Chain A
């Protein structure tokens, strides 16, 4: 099967007056449709840069990024990108916020409205559609941000540490929510996180990056005796600890 996303020898460097900083070197991997990939690595290793490249916000200096076998030149509706913070606009209602992407893409038609309404209902935000973001809890805001990302109907979702701004308890439940929503909407996802337990609890495959300039250090595919576990359930399995320790060792194999 042709992969949904394929990176071939992608490298990227930031340029400034005082010199250039190599962020990524020679990154190659594939993402199959329906997969949940986590990318982890030491902080500041270029994980977010990777997502910017895939989304088309940045262009690679060398190498190619193929989406369904085609090279992408600029962002389009097929890739959704969820940032670290929810960035809901206080001057818009929740409904105004979740339809922002559709509005920008001029695709806020009846079908889109129904899709948004369905998601708002399903994920417990319909009551709050006319509320302001400040009236919502952290977890609800994050769900609203996810609906905003999903509303234009992307196939691939890029998640840039979307839970890092939440407190631990909220984080666990939002993590569960998001993973179930993504499964239900049948999305392919690429999650960037520095939280190893988050990576193990959510991903089918985990890419471990080295320090900057980042290369792929290793790939871990966590397998659980039981299939289809939610992130929270995974955390309670005996395998969870083993994979966590394995990742920990991988991350510390270099660096020190």
Chain B
């Protein structure tokens, strides 16, 4: 665009930029004020640092655990379990949704079961999983899957069904089969849905994994939280929560990036 912008357009763009700037500053400010207030409150003994921890104590704990390497063990465990269960959720979710789409009768038969399983609080299953599968990573991964998988199947299946029937008809007019409909219309046409479902589910997997770690783990951030609360090492607890926040943000951000990349292509 080599043409010169008009004054009003320039003003408009400048206003837009200023607004963006204000939003960014406000975001950072809220965080900084929160940290400062927390730290001050502990230093001035308004609240008890032993129970409420403080930013500096969290930072110290983090640094200490970084030095002895234990932070990597716990974070790595939680992260890898989350990623494994997420990958399985995506695979199982797509597979099951395709199966339901292939057989409308099957989907009608299974619908009440899916509804019940989806609305069941999955944390109720975690103790059972530990008993059945043992206190190991397997049950933690299954716990992660259990939280996300039913919603994924239902969302994807609904998305498949909402595909424009005329687009499906088009495939049949070109002598295609149901298989062609799946590969040429349903799957490529629901990529945006798949990406948005994935964005929600990576967070759900993390929830499931932490629940699993609460009851059946020897490592991981969920374990650290439970153990920390039991031995009154609340610095551990708060630091674990902070790390979980960062992980959740990071995973969501990565998927958001993939989504934008895919939408542009």
Q: Which residues of A approach B to under 8 Å, CB–CB?
A: 55, 57, 75-77, 80-81, 83-85, 87, 89, 91-92, 100-101, 103-105, 148, 152
Contacts and interface: CB of A to CB of B under 8 A. Distances in A.
A57 B184 CA distance: 19
B171 interface: yes
Contact of B166 (A83, A92, A100): A83
B191 interface: yes
Most chain B CB within 10 A, of A76, A87, A103, is at A87
B191 A91 contact: yes
B189 A91 contact: yes
Interface of B: 164, 166-167, 169-176, 180, 184-185, 188-189, 191
Interface of A (DSSP majority class): loop
A55 B170 CA distance: 12
A76 B172 contact: no
A100 B174 contact: yes
B171 A104 contact: yes
B176 A87 contact: no
A101 B184 CA distance: 11
21 contacts: A57-B173, A75-B173, A76-B175, A77-B175, A81-B173, A83-B173, A87-B164, A87-B167, A87-B170, A89-B184, A89-B185, A89-B189, A100-B174, A103-B184, A104-B171, A104-B180, A104-B184, A105-B175, A148-B174, A152-B174, A152-B175
A130 to B, nearest CB: 13
Contacts of A103: 184
A100 B166 CA distance: 15
Given A83-B166, A87-B167, 5 more contacts: A57-B172, A87-B164, A91-B188, A91-B189, A105-B175
Given A85-B166, A87-B166, A101 B174 contact: yes
Contacts of A87: 164, 166-167, 170
Interface of B (DSSP majority class): helix
Nearest to A55: B173
Contacts of B176: 104
Contacts of B175: 75-77, 101, 104-105, 152
Nearest to A79: B173
B184 A100 contact: yes
A101 B170 CA distance: 9
B196 to A, nearest CB: 16
A83 B180 CA distance: 18
Nearest to B173: A81
A6 to B, nearest CB: 21
A148 B170 CA distance: 11
Nearest 8 CB-CB pairings of A with B: A81-B173, A101-B174, A104-B176, A91-B188, A87-B170, A75-B175, A104-B180, A104-B174
Contacts of B189: 89, 91
A103 B188 CA distance: 15
